[in-house]
Structure formats: structure tokens, C-alpha cells
A and B are shown apart, each in its own frame.
Chain A
Amino acid sequence: MATERTSGGSGLVTRVRRHRYVGLVFNAAPATFWLGVFFVAPLAVMLYYSFGTRGAFGTVLLDPEHLGIQQYAYFFVPDGASIPQTIWWTLGWALGHFVPFVPNVAGGEPTAYVQLLFKSIYFGVVTTVFAFAIGYPMAYFVARKAPANYRNILVALVVLPYWASYLVRVYAIKIMLAKNGLLDNLLTTLNIADNVSLLYSNFAVGFGLVYIYVPFMILPVYASLEQLDTTLEEAAMDLGADRWDAFRRVTLPLSMPGVIAGSFLVFIPAVGAYVIPELLGGTDTATVGEFIASQFGSAGNWPLGAAAAFILMVIMFLGIWIYQSRTGGDIL
């Protein structure tokens, strides 16, 4: 303030500057305080707990001799394995597990927690791919083929279910997939399967995730397709491209910002989902979200739950950071 007063020269400038400074503090301070105390500080407390140890009866030991990285060690490294061995096992297992026809040459297996993490990421990837595969053509139809005066209504119809309660929509999916439900009846009528409960399976979790998050893919893709200059396609066709080439080499690349934004909006909540796997999945479909919740409930190991939550958060931020550093864009 003192330097401003001397450098400002005229009294008016000083008064305006001091005024602006007061305005900044007045406007920013309450929200900054709230976010600092009730958002940033809790994350710090979570990190602190993740270094603790579980005591008897679900208590948490946070004294110096019980603080350490043991929770992270339990999470990542199997008993008696070295760290290079763990990395090798994890790579081998991941390839063998998720890539068809590739055997696990590493021999060992990563911890159950790491398998859980991979399963969650796998759900996230599958959901994103399906949301893209069914969402992109629809967004393309609405932006380019549908009559212009219906476009707003068609977009509104995508948004409308999103306004219905999240849990109600998940419940609606539960009804769809239940034994003797609509999908089961359809499969029976078509003689594909008879009287199956599709619930409590990987399929049910994936179905629910795609149902809930597909609007997050459609909307950004629609926005980028809608802004796109159609004369570029015409130029490509004038230069000899057919319709497919014009789409693949001009339209699709130009709509990529929308696709990438949509992918993040789908992928991030799908990986961390808790409600959908809890209500639609079975015992063998546990995800990181469910694991974290169980550590704070029945399993009663808060430090391990805190460590898992911190790892989940770090993975998200790594993904966002890679995206932002490669494209220089903002997600929001």
C-alpha cells in the first residue's frame, strides 16, 4: 500500500486502487475461506489419515511411531515382493487380463487392491468408448441432419433425463435389468436367453454407467459439431474426397475437442462411481469407490480407505494434467 501511495501520484488514483483492493478482499475472502477450510483442509486431513495405522476396534493411530507409508505399501506391493517385481507382475497381469489372447508371462499377480483399481479404470474406459460409439452419431444427427428448428428440442430431450434424480435413474435401470424385466423379456422373446437376471453383473454396471453418463458425451460433441464450418467439408469433397473421407479427415478431427471434453466428463465420474456398482453390481464387481466406502463402513480401516481415496484422486489429476499439457486446453 505504501508504495502504491507514493507511485500513484494523484490522490484519486490512490483512492481507486485502495478501493479496488478492498473490493477484492470483500468479494473473494468468504468463498476462499469456505473452500480453504471445508475443501482443501479436509483433503490435507485425508492425506494425514492415509499415513496412519488401524488400531483396535476401528480406531486410527496417528502418533509418530504409527505414521508412515504402510497403507500405500499394502495397496501396491504384495507381501514379500520387491518393487520391480511388483511393477513387472502388474504389467503382465494387466496385459493378460485385459488384452485378448495375451498370456500373463510375468507369473505373479498384483495385490487385490491394484486389481480393483484396474477394474475401475476398465469400467471407465469401456463406458467412455460406448458413450462415444452411441453418442457421437446421435450428436452428429442432431447437429447436422435434423431440421434446424427442431434442434433445440432434440438437445433439450437429451438434457431432460439428466434433471431427474440420479438415484431414481439408477433404480429405473435396476427395474429394466431385473429378472422378468423388460430386457429379460426381450431376450426370451428373441430366444437368445431364458429368464435371466442381468442384474448384479459387470454388464449391469456398464449398462448403468453408459445410461447415466452418455449425455455428458453427447452435449460437448454436439456443441463442437454445431460450430463447425460446413464449407470445409464441401472443400474436401471438391478436392476429390468422398463423403466418408470428408467426414473422417475433416469433420471428425475438427470435432475432437468436443470428443475429448466429453471423454473426460464421462471417464472421471465412471471410474470413481460408487452408487452404480453398489446398486447394480454383484460381489465380484467391486470397484475402488465401493472399496473406499467399505473401509469406512463394515471393514473399518480408515487409513487404508483414505489412502485408496488419495490414490484415486491422484490418478484423476494425472489424467487431467496429461490432457491439459498435451492440448493446452481447459476441461471446463
Chain B
Amino acid sequence: MSSVTVSWFKRTRSRFIQRFGGVALGLEAIALYLFLYIPIVVMIALSFNDSQTAIVWKGFTTEWYSALLDGRAIARVDPQAAWIALKNSLYIAAVTVVVSTTLGTMLALALDRYDFPGRSLLQGVTFMPLIIPSIVMGISLLLFFNFVGLTQGIGTAIIGHVAFDISYVTVIVLARLSSFDRTLEEAAMDLGARELETFRWVTFPIIKPGVIAGALLAFAMSFDDFVVTFFIIGNQNTLPIFFFGMVRQGISPGVNVIATVILLATFALIALAQKVAGLTW
């Protein structure tokens, strides 16, 4: 191939990319957005579907929602059990957030401020729960509780959730601390503030967005966790475990309604979080 042919080829290719490249990329992006959203939209739509089998569209109805509100069982879904599962989930997530945010923030401060023997080991252990498969975490906790003789239930679920949520909080607060101007603390100390006063009036207000973001993520992770909880909660239910049981049985209008309610509740929570704490991702 002569160099003239090569340069002609390259010029044509370049012009082709210039003319159609942007359009092709745009179409690909649109297709991927559709891929991400169509399943969710279809699921919400089918929760209003007037059909017992729930897959083929037969007409609009709000019957399934009113049945849920009335506490009637709809197509294999027991509203009473769903309600208990929801309360358990909220309780576990609330306790988990308080403990893991406190411990995680303190650990982030320790990792950011101090140089000590074993610091990188501690950091490695802190990041590990984010990396190992959740099924490994779940069964190792199951074996541990069995080994030490702890009865499984809500309490053991909280212990497990705190163990992985500490990592999320620590990572997020550490990121916030890395852009922290330390001279502000020194200035406060120079002006006579004691350690705790400095923390209360200088350090905490600055890292607060990170702490809130960490707490929100911890709540979401705890509320949404299935795999770890599944192994360590004994015969109690959380919303994901309850939902998993229904999904395993198949598709039904009742499951669509529960899924839609979970979805909308999650988005309402995020919207609220955005309002309180600003963009968190």
C-alpha cells in the first residue's frame, strides 16, 4: 500500500468519524439509557395492570394498590408480613447508621491524623469489606455467631451491617478530610480552643457534608442489603428478604406493587437527602 493510499484511507476515515461519530455515540448513549430505564418503567406500569398474570397489558387498574392499603392479601403478598419486614428494615438501618457513622467518622479521623505502626494494615482491613463478595461476609458471620453461640436475629443483623457500613462511612469521610485545611484547626488552638472545642466548632462543621453523605450511604446499604442479612438474621424478615421470597416464586401483580412502593420510597428518601445535604454522589 503506497503512502498516498494510506493517507486517503485515513482522511476518509477521519471525515467519516467527524460526520457520523458524534451521532453514533449519541444513539449508543440513548440506547443505554433506555436499557437502564425501560425495565423499571415497565415494572411500574405493570403494577397498574388489570391482569392476574401481570405480564401482558390488559388495562389500567388501581385495584392492587387499594388492596394493599386495605390490608387484603393480593396475589400471594401478605401486607401484614410486608409491614413487619419494613419495620425491621427501618429499625436495623436506623441503629446501624448511628453506630457505623460514629465509629466510621472516628476511624477516618484516626487514619487521617495519625501516623502509627500498623496504620496501612488498619486501612487495608477497613477497605476489605467493600471488596470481598458479600456472600463471603455473610457466611463468615454466620459461622462466627454459630461458633460463639450467639442466637441469630435482629441483633446479629445489626452487628453485621455495622461491620460493612463502617467501611463506607470511613472511605467517604476520609475523602472529605483529604481536602481539609489543617491550619484552621491550628488557628482555633492558637486562639485557646481545647481539643473538643476545636472539633465541635471547627472540624465537625467542615467534615459534616462527608459525615452526612456517609450516613446516607450507610442507611441505603443497610436498608437494601440482602445477602449478608439473609445468612445472619435467623428466622426474622427484612424487606429485601421478604421481597426475595416473593420474587423467587415468580411474577405477580402483588410483587409489582411492593416493588414499585419500595422504588418510590427509595427515590423519595434520596430526594429528601439531596435537599438536606446537597448532591451526595
Question: Could you tell me which A residues sit within 8 Å of B by CB distance?
Answer: 19-20, 23-24, 26-28, 30-32, 34-36, 38-43, 45-46, 48-49, 134-135, 137-138, 140-142, 145-146, 154, 156-159, 161, 163-176, 178-182, 211, 214-215, 242-245, 268-269, 271-275, 278-279, 289, 292-293, 296, 302, 305-306, 309-310, 312-313, 316, 320, 331-332
Q: Which residues of B contact A269 (CB under 8 A)?
A: 133
> A23-B195, A42-B141 in contact; A274/B166 too (CB < 8 A)?
no
Q: Which residues of B contact A272 (CB under 8 A)?
A: 133-136
* Beta-carbon contacts under 8 Å, B229-271 to A: 231, 240, 243-244, 247-248, 251, 255-256, 259, 262-263, 266-267, 270
Beta-carbon contact of A40 and B135 below 8 Å: no
Interface size range on B against A: 35 or more
Q: Which residues of A contact B38 (CB under 8 A)?
A: 176, 182
Beta-carbon contact of B25 and A163 below 8 Å: no
Complex: A32 Cα to B270 Cα, angstroms: 30
Q: Which residues of A contact B137 (CB under 8 A)?
A: 39, 42
For the complex, is B187 an interface residue (Cβ under 8 Å from A)?
Answer: no
Beta-carbon contact of B43 and A175 below 8 Å: yes
Beta-carbon contact of A242 and B11 below 8 Å: yes
Beta-carbon contact of A161 and B103 below 8 Å: no
Which secondary structure dominates where chain B touches chain A?
helix
Q: Of A32, A134, A145, A179, which contacts B32 at CB under 8 A? A: A134
Residue of A142, A242, A293 with most partner-chain B CB within 10 A: A242
Which chain B residue has the least Cβ–Cβ distance from A133?
B28
Given contacts A38-B141, A172-B43, A269-B133, 10 further A-B contacts (CB under 8 A): A23-B113, A27-B106, A27-B110, A31-B104, A49-B143, A170-B247, A175-B251, A176-B42, A296-B142, A309-B140
* Interface mask (B30-59 → A, CB under 8 Å = 1, otherwise 0): 001101111110110010000000111000
Q: Of A171, A279, A309, which contacts B43 at CB under 8 A? A: A171
Beta-carbon contact of B263 and A175 below 8 Å: no
Q: Which residues of B contact A154 (CB under 8 A)?
A: 29
Which chain A residue has the least Cβ–Cβ distance from B127?
A332
Q: Which residues of B contact A156 (CB under 8 A)?
A: 281
Beta-carbon contact of B162 and A34 below 8 Å: yes
Beta-carbon contact of A45 and B270 below 8 Å: no
For the complex, is B206 an interface residue (Cβ under 8 Å from A)?
Answer: no
Beta-carbon contact of B135 and A274 below 8 Å: yes
Beta-carbon contact of A164 and B18 below 8 Å: no
For the complex, is B125 an interface residue (Cβ under 8 Å from A)?
Answer: yes
Beta-carbon contact of B255 and A244 below 8 Å: no
Q: Which residues of B contact A292 (CB under 8 A)?
A: 135-136, 139
Beta-carbon contact of B106 and A172 below 8 Å: no
> A28-B106, A168-B259, A331-B131 in contact; A275/B227 too (CB < 8 A)?
yes
For the complex, is B73 an interface residue (Cβ under 8 Å from A)?
Answer: no
Which chain B residue has the least Cβ–Cβ distance from A161?
B36
